Structure 1
Amino acid sequence: MKQPTAFAPVLAVKNGTYDIDFYKNAFGAVETMRINNDDGSMHVAEFMIDDALFHLHEITQFSNTVTPLNAHGGTVTIGLLVDDVHAVFDRAVAAGATPTMPVTDFEYGWRQGEFIDPFGHKWTIERKL
């Protein structure tokens, strides 16, 4: 079976992270895999939001991992296309995201709202109008 081409972002989080439920609470993401460290903190986790796959991974000594925290800001914005931008945006804020731009309908034909998740990652929740 041929693997379909898709993006699968890996979001870096600080070492010693135990609670990654933000993604479940904000997006209804389903955790499909997790490997914990000996102390119970998360080493790597895999999530699905409908058909969209992404991973969380802690910083390791073998990589030059840049996180929003050690870079003093995000280096990438994650766009999540959904049917109901307002509902997903509001659920994410209720789950702990910090809004940076309210949901707005833009003249270029997109409805978008932006926030920073509890781990410092910037998200744009959006849909084409």
Structure 2
Amino acid sequence: MIVPPGFGTVVPYIFAEEWDAYVAFLIAAFGAVEVGRSMRGDGGIANVQLRFGGTTIMLSDVSAVYPASRVSLYLYVDDADAAMARALAAGGHCEMAVGDMPYGDRQGGIRDPRGNIWWVSQRLTDEPYF
């Protein structure tokens, strides 16, 4: 099996309305970096690849065949409080305030402008979850 660098075995793929505004949100809110883009023949976006640290996700415009999708994503960050503040400033809505969790993470939740939930999580220990 060949998996491209920066991709995992499972790669989130989101279909989003107003994909360009959504890409701008992900860059501003979470520091995503656009690493690739392919366009459709009609000028719409076929695929945008965004890297979050060592992980890449894919994003496409909606169509009659592929309507907007909703997903919940767990995003590890260096500073959960700062990540939450950036996401709120970029237009996200607080789903859950940042707090220390019993499983060793400092975590908060953001609902993005497309309805996806991002759990921003700062790991506080080197111990495994289980």
Q: What TM-score does the superposition give when structure 1 sets the normalisation length?
A: 0.78
Paired residue total: 120
Would the aligned equivalents of 1:17 and 1:41 in 2 still touch at CA under 8 Å? no
Does residue 33 in structure 1 map to residue 36 in structure 2? yes
Structure 2 unaligned segments of length 5 or more: list them: 125-130
Does residue 24 in structure 1 map to residue 19 in structure 2? no
Does residue 8 in structure 1 map to residue 11 in structure 2? yes
Residue 94 (structure 1) shift: 0.7
The 2-side partners of 1:93 and 1:39 are apart by 34
For 1:67, the aligned partner's letter is: S
The partner residue of 1:122 within 96, 117, 123 is 117
Which structure dedicates a bigger proportion of its chain to helix? 2
The 1-side partners of 2:2 and 2:19 are apart by 35
The 1-side partners of 2:82 and 2:98 are apart by 10
For 1:32, the aligned partner's letter is: V
The 2-side partners of 1:91 and 1:33 are apart by 24
Q: Deviations over 1:50-70 (max 9, x none)?
A: 21100111223444x4523xx
For 2:58, the aligned partner's letter is: H
Alignment of 1:32-111 (within 5 A): 32-37=35-40, 41-63=44-66, 65=67, 67-68=69-70, 76-111=71-106
- Secondary structure in 1 aligned to 2:20? coil
Q: 1:73 corresponds to which residue?
A: none
Q: What TM-score does the superposition give when structure 2 sets the normalisation length?
A: 0.77
Q: Structure 1 residues 96, 38: CA separation in 2 closer, same or farther (over 3 Å shift)? A: farther
How much is the aligned-residue C-alpha RMSD, in angstroms?
2.4
Percent identity for Structure 1 against Structure 2: 32
- Secondary structure in 1 aligned to 2:81? helix
